Structure formats: C-alpha cells, structure tokens
Amino acid sequence: MITSGQPKVLLGVTGGIAAYKSVEILRGLQRNGVDVRVVMTAAATQFVGPLTFETLSGHPVHLDSQWLRSDSGIAHVEEGREADLLLIAPATANTLAKMAQGIADNLLTTTYLAFSGPVLVAPAMNANMWSHPATQQNLALLEKRGVVVVQPDEGELACGVYGAGRMAEPDGIVAEVKLRLQVESKSDLRGLRVLVTAGGTQEPIDAVRYIGNRSSGKMGFSLARAAHDRGAEVDLVHSNVKLPKVPGVRQVEASTADDVYREVMARLPEVDVLIMAAAVADYRVGRNVDGKMAKKRERLTIQLEPTADVLCEVAALEGGRFVVGFAAEFGLEGLERARGKLERKNLDMIVFNDISRSDIGFNVDENEVVILTPDGEVEVARTGKEVVAERILDEVARALRRRRKAGVPA
C-alpha cells in the first residue's frame, strides 16, 4: 500500500564510476519532495554499496540477487507500477544497449520494459564508448521511443582523457526530473474527455420541500478543475451547488437523481473517464404533490422508490471507459463496504471517505480518502480537496497508462 501522495521516482544505478554521483541525485530529489527508490545492477554494487542507498532512501534497495526468488514478489512490475518516473543515472553503454534491444536479463532492464511511465537516462562513459556508433544508434532509438536523454558533459573523464561522456551534474539531472514530473502531471489527461458529477441531488416532496443531503460539491469541482488543468476536456454535471464556475469546463445543472441519470447518459458515448463524485439520492419520492402539501396533525408517510444506479449501469456497459465511484461511508468499517462496492459494481476505482467525521468530507474544505483499485489501495492523509483531487487523478492517469501499455484503449 502506498501511503503518501508524493511524486515517486525509481532510480536505476548501473555500473560506472559515476555511480557515486547517484547518491547526490537521490539527495537532490529528496530535497525536492520526491520519494526515491533504488534499483542497482550487479555491476553498480561494485562501485557503491547498496547500504548507502538503502540508508539514504529509507527503502530497501532492489538487487538482482533477491529478484529471482519466489518470496520477493514481482519487483520489476511492482516498483514500476508505483513510480511516476524511471531515472537511470548513470546509464552505462551496456544498459543502454540492452534497453534499445529490449533485453531483460536483470531487474533494472526488466523494470524498464515493464514500465509505462516517462523514462530519463543520464549516460556516463568513456569518450570512445560514447562516440561509438553502437552507443549513438542505441540512444537515437531510445529517444525515438520517447526516452529522455540527459546529455553528458565534456570534461576530464575517469580514464584520464578529456572528452564527451561525463555524466551531467546531479543538479542538472534533478532539474530535468522535476521538469518531466511537472510536464507529466500537467498533461497526462490530454486528449481525454472526462465527465465529473458533483454536489447532492434534491428529491422533491412537493413544490417547496425536498429530500437532500449535505454534499457541497467541492470535491467534484476540485476534480473538474484539476482534470481540466491536466489537459482533459471536462463536463461537469452538478446538483444544487453554490460554487463559482470552473473556467474552461462545460457545466450543466441536474437537480434530481433522474436529472443526473439523464445528463450523464446523454454524454456517455463520448466519455473516456467518468468520475461520480456527486451524492446522488438512492430513493426518490414515489408520488410528489403538486403545490405545497398542507399541514395536518396526523402522521405522514412518504413512499420512496429506488432511483437508477447510474454507476452500476455505466460500469456494466461496453466501451472501455474508466469509471470512478465514491463511497461516502460511516466509520472505518465502511472501507470494507467500499471494497465490496468496487467489486460488486465492477468499477475501475472507488474513493472511500469516512463521513462520520465532521472535519473531513461533506461540506468542508478538507478530505481524507482511500483510493481503491483492483490493483491496490492508496491512502491520502487529511489535506485540502484540491490536493486530494490531484492524488485521485494521479491514480487515474497511472491506471490509464497501464491500460494503454496493455493495449486496452482508454
């Protein structure tokens, strides 16, 4: 389980003299708020001890020696799944050649192949190795496939000669990683149509009374704004909110559960990602009264009938769209119910929040959630709804990348 929303970088260290500089890269990334995990090749461990990286990163270092063991999990898939970016620094001529050819004979090269996010390499080698046509062709191929190459500097090399091949300075590599993380997070929903529902429905009893809930719509609005910022074309179906419009987002009011159903279904054929953050009534009044119901001194019974379950219906439809539900549940045992709902409704993701607490969730600016997918759970500690929205979209983008990698259209 991942317990924080920090950006995560997987640092691959290969067997070159510059491996000692990877320690500085790790520290630089940490200073910038990045959680760094390290994979070392066997050759790299001859240059720097894994204990150094283990101590500084605060995580076990992944090594080939533990990789092909039945009790060590599928490290090459698991580490890659959790990372936002793979950085290989230094990258030896050997590892670059394997990457270019798709050779997966150690943990790092296998992780590279299994990884679907952005990849940066910082080559470091002797000047002749660097200028060799094999190395240059491998790099050209990798660049063509989207790998970002942090070009080496010219200078005095470890072998005593002067030339190109010296790994770029750690500060420059850290800056490049930060830039890529920003670019990624800002545009990772580009080209997608996202539909968000927000607020709480009101089911009329008569012309002036209704059955409603305390949802303010802030979570859904934060999601719509964040999805738009990340490049998506966004529609926002909102119910009874008192919030300012979100620039660049198409908005439509849907007061009742029936209205939400209609507005969502009308837009669905075009939608890639549906995020149902609205608190939609489970019941509507069976027969509502025209005008205002007169006050009487006797008991009043109002018959309720179930509304359509939009989430369930949408998730059951063909079309491969990514469906996110919200589970506003009472108490932590609600987490178990959310897990059940994820499976029962066949959702791609469900966001659990505990509405028994008054400091988070309904009608306040902060939230604390657990993001559940069939692949795992991510806890987001109490923070502003804007940050929670970013974390949810991080997970959506990550899941979509995995899908694309697996050849499933988003």
Ligand X SMILES: Cc1cc2nc3c(=O)[nH]c(=O)nc-3n(C[C@H](O)[C@H](O)[C@H](O)COP(=O)(O)O)c2cc1C
List the catalytic residues: 159
Within 174-193, the residues that bind ligand X by CB under 6 A are none
Token pair in block for residue 373: 């997918």
Strand partners, 377: 372
* 41 makes contact with ligand X (CB under 6 A): yes
**What is the pattern of x (binds ligand X, CB under 6 A) and - over residues 275-314?**
----------------------------------------
- Cβ burial, residue 46 (10 Å; 0-12/13-18/19+): exposed
Stretch that binds ligand X, among 38-46, 50-58, 67-75, 139-147 (CB under 6 A): 38-46
Q: How far apart are CA 280 and CA 283, in angstroms?
A: 9
- Shorter beta-carbon distance to ligand X: residue 41 or 111: 41
Any residues with CB less than 8 A from the CB of 173 and at least 6 apart, and which?
Answer: 25, 28, 87, 89, 120, 122, 150, 167
* 94 makes contact with ligand X (CB under 6 A): yes
- Shorter beta-carbon distance to ligand X: residue 123 or 217: 123
Residue from 22, 95, 216, 239 that binds ligand X (CB under 6 A)?
A: 95
**What is the pattern of x (binds ligand X, CB under 6 A) and - over residues 7-36?**
-------xxxxx------------------
* 61 makes contact with ligand X (CB under 6 A): no
Strand partners, 250: 235
- Shorter beta-carbon distance to ligand X: residue 16 or 217: 16
Token pair in block for residue 151: 């070009």
- Minimum distance between the CB of residue 158 and ligand X, rounded to whole angstroms? 6
Interface with ligand X: number of residues (CB under 6 A): 15
- Minimum distance between the CB of residue 109 and ligand X, rounded to whole angstroms? 8
Any residues with CB less than 8 A from the CB of 147 and at least 6 apart, and which?
Answer: 99, 119, 120, 121
From the list 253, 247, 244, 141, the residue with the least C-alpha distance to 200 is: 253
- Shorter beta-carbon distance to ligand X: residue 111 or 240: 111
Within 118-177, the residues that bind ligand X by CB under 6 A are 124-125, 129
Q: Which residue is nearest to ligand X (CB)?
A: 16
Q: How far apart are CA 325 and CA 332, in angstroms?
A: 18
- Could you give the 3-state DSSP secondary structure of residue 279? strand
Q: How far apart are CA 280 and CA 308, in angstroms?
A: 10
- Shorter beta-carbon distance to ligand X: residue 93 or 310: 93
Token pair in block for residue 63: 């090594």
Residues that bind ligand X (CB under 6 A): 14-18, 41, 43-44, 92-95, 124-125, 129
